[in-house]
Chains A and B, each alone.
Chain A
Amino acid sequence: MSTQTAPALVLKSGPEAKAFLAEVDAMAATQVEACYQCGKCSGGCPLSYAMDYQPRQIMRLVQMGLREEALRSRTIWICATCYTCTARCPRDIDIAGVMDALRVKALRRGLRPAERNVGVFHQVFLDYVRCLGRSYELGLMLVYKLRTLRLTEDLLLGLKMFKRGKLAVRPEASRGRDEVLAIFREAAAGDAGAAAGGATGGTGAEAAGPAGGTRSGEAKGGGAR
């Protein structure tokens, strides 16, 4: 496992490094080892300017087994899943799929997303879907603001949208919400299994449960707080 004190980019070749690469490959159904670092993904990425590692560098981190650097990067939370990289890669690597795999791995390990507000947004969004079967934008915006203390940002815009009837006051529930809750529970159960059974990387075992970041499910359908 790499540590804070190690030089930033030391090539790893041990079984642990290979295991990380294999896990990411399997989750994203792609072959990161095929990346030849041409940089086309970074060149076309609309958000590369705001990332700490370029998409190309993330591919390299995965190849080298630098798990911590990849999972703690801001990049994986800045990525907007626009699939420009995936559509263009000359080596047919699903870079956007790799970003998904890294986010899921980070959450399963209980790491708090390096872009905290992005993580909170996803969590509050899913809390509403779990309770109602549908999202609820007004509630989402309010709870997100309370949780991130961004109380004044977008206040005027929110008012304008409200005045034009763009933010429904009452939440809308799906009558299928019991089934939706069952889906969330099944996802949580599967997560626990993946964390326990997927520990092929030895020390890199992923902890189950909702520590810190976004949860995918809970035993009880609590409300958004």
Chain B
Amino acid sequence: MTEEPLRYAYYPGCSLHSTAREYDLSMKVVARAAGVELLEIPDWNCCGASSAHVTDPFLGFALPGRVLALAEEMGLDVVAPCAACYGRLAAAREEAARHPDYVRRLEKATGRRLSGSSRVWNVLEWLSQERVSAAVREALKRPLEGLAVAPYYGCLLVRPPKVTRFDDPERPVTMDRILETIGAVPVDFAFKTECCGASLGISRTDLVSELSGRILAAAADAGAEAVAVACPLCQTNLDSRQEAAGLRQGRTFDLPVYYITQLVGLALGASARELGLGRHLVDAMSLLREKKLA
């Protein structure tokens, strides 16, 4: 191929450096295999997550706004694997167009310029673009045959639709298609875009266990053996609250919760270690061994 390599400003966000390091690892595995360059944004800061926008509108804009300004300095579009970071960055880009006063205040505080020129990509858009999915198809080494996976999208990849402008907000299919590309069986279920309670993960664990339990039950009842996610908060809730969620539902769940990039990486022949599959709370290896996929 003579095409220029695809290059992106990479915004890991805080989770990918702590609870979700396996997401970071598997992103890089997939990017390498697909010939995409991910250049980590230097000196990036936290996007403020929910805590900033529920506290102060300018703070909710300016924290992700600074990240966008840094990406503009690199002259690249941003890929943000965390759905919550993606939501905040995409919202800030939108707000920049509506609130010139916010942009002025941000520029005054940081000494940087923000024009809104860098587009923000979520991980599913990034994986499903033609060049990446073609490269994945070409490099496929170990199709995940017979693995029934419930694609769980959660909230912020698809909502609010005016900000994300991505897929169908009620019935998205992008992750289903990616699963098909790597040979897995996507399981349709009704809770694809229901909320797991993300931001209440520490402060109201009872609510998160209830919401996660509903999602896991819907996935299990539809015949899924595993769940695929594209967000570290979804992963943490569905994985770490699975036991508590089962207790509330009066049943036992045994659904490993994989990042979509871990599954793609696996199909590309990467090892369990490279993909951080040993870092999950719900055993992520037994099912793969049973299916002779690891």
Q: B194 is contacted by which of A46, A104, A122 (Cβ under 8 Å)?
A: A46
- A176 B44 Cβ-Cβ under 8 A: yes
- B279 A174 Cβ-Cβ under 8 A: no
- A174 B45 Cβ-Cβ under 8 A: yes
Tell me the A130-144 residues at the B interface (CB within 8 Å).
Answer: 133-138, 140-141, 144
- A115 B46 Cβ-Cβ under 8 A: no
Identify the B interface with A (CB < 8 A). 14-15, 17-21, 42-46, 48-60, 62-63, 66, 70, 98, 105-106, 108-112, 155-156, 158-161, 169-170, 193-195, 197-200, 202-205, 207, 211, 214, 240, 278-281
- A186 B108 Cβ-Cβ under 8 A: yes
Question: Contacts A87-B160, A137-B19, A167-B19; is A187 near B110 (CB within 8 Å)?
Answer: no
**Binary flags per residue of A12-52, CB closer than 8 Å to B gives 1, else 0:** 00000000000000010100000000000000001100100
- B159 A83 Cβ-Cβ under 8 A: yes
Query: 6 more A-B contacts (CB under 8 A) besides A83-B156, A122-B54, A183-B62?
Result: A46-B195, A46-B214, A138-B18, A157-B240, A183-B63, A190-B56
**A75 in the interface, Cβ–Cβ < 8 Å?**
no
**Binary flags per residue of A70-107, CB closer than 8 Å to B gives 1, else 0:** 00000000101111101100000010100010011001
Question: Contacts A81-B50, A84-B159, A168-B18; is A160 near B109 (CB within 8 Å)?
Answer: no
**A164 in the interface, Cβ–Cβ < 8 Å?**
yes
Contacts of B170 in A (CB 8 A): 87
**A117 in the interface, Cβ–Cβ < 8 Å?**
yes
**A63 in the interface, Cβ–Cβ < 8 Å?**
no
A75 to chain B, nearest CB (A): 13
- A167 B18 Cβ-Cβ under 8 A: yes
- B202 A186 Cβ-Cβ under 8 A: no
- B160 A83 Cβ-Cβ under 8 A: yes
Question: Contacts A120-B203, A144-B203; is A216 near B59 (CB within 8 Å)?
Answer: yes
- B43 A174 Cβ-Cβ under 8 A: yes
**A196 in the interface, Cβ–Cβ < 8 Å?**
no
Contacts of B109 in A (CB 8 A): 179, 182-183, 185-186
- B155 A125 Cβ-Cβ under 8 A: no
Q: B50 is contacted by which of A29, A122, A167, A179 (Cβ under 8 Å)?
A: A122
A62 to B44, CA, bound (A): 38
Question: Contacts A81-B50, A187-B56; is A180 near B45 (CB within 8 Å)?
Answer: yes
Q: B155 is contacted by which of A82, A133, A165 (Cβ under 8 Å)?
A: A82
**A217 in the interface, Cβ–Cβ < 8 Å?**
yes
Question: Contacts A81-B50, A87-B159; is A175 near B43 (CB within 8 Å)?
Answer: yes
A217 to B44, CA, bound (A): 20
Contacts of B159 in A (CB 8 A): 82-84, 86-87
Q: B55 is contacted by which of A78, A103, A120, A161 (Cβ under 8 Å)?
A: A103
Q: Which 3 A-B pairs have the closest CB atoms?
A: A82-B195, A216-B56, A83-B159
Identify the A interface with B (CB < 8 A). 27, 29, 46-47, 50, 78, 80-84, 86-87, 94, 96, 100, 103-104, 107, 115, 117-118, 120-123, 125-126, 129, 133-138, 140-141, 144, 153-154, 157, 160-161, 164-168, 172, 174-177, 179-180, 182-187, 190-191, 214-217
A120 to B19, CA, bound (A): 21
A27 to B15, CA, bound (A): 30
Question: Contacts A134-B46, A184-B59; is A179 near B66 (CB within 8 Å)?
Answer: yes
A218 to chain B, nearest CB (A): 12
A78 to B66, CA, bound (A): 29
A159 to B82, CA, bound (A): 24
Contacts of B194 in A (CB 8 A): 46, 84
A147 to B71, CA, bound (A): 37
Contacts of B66 in A (CB 8 A): 176, 179-180, 183
Q: A47 is contacted by which of B45, B110, B158, B207 (Cβ under 8 Å)?
A: B207
- A144 B43 Cβ-Cβ under 8 A: no
- B200 A118 Cβ-Cβ under 8 A: yes
Contacts of B59 in A (CB 8 A): 126, 183-184, 187, 216-217
- A117 B55 Cβ-Cβ under 8 A: no
Q: A186 is contacted by which of B58, B205, B280 (Cβ under 8 Å)?
A: B58
- A129 B108 Cβ-Cβ under 8 A: no
- A103 B54 Cβ-Cβ under 8 A: yes
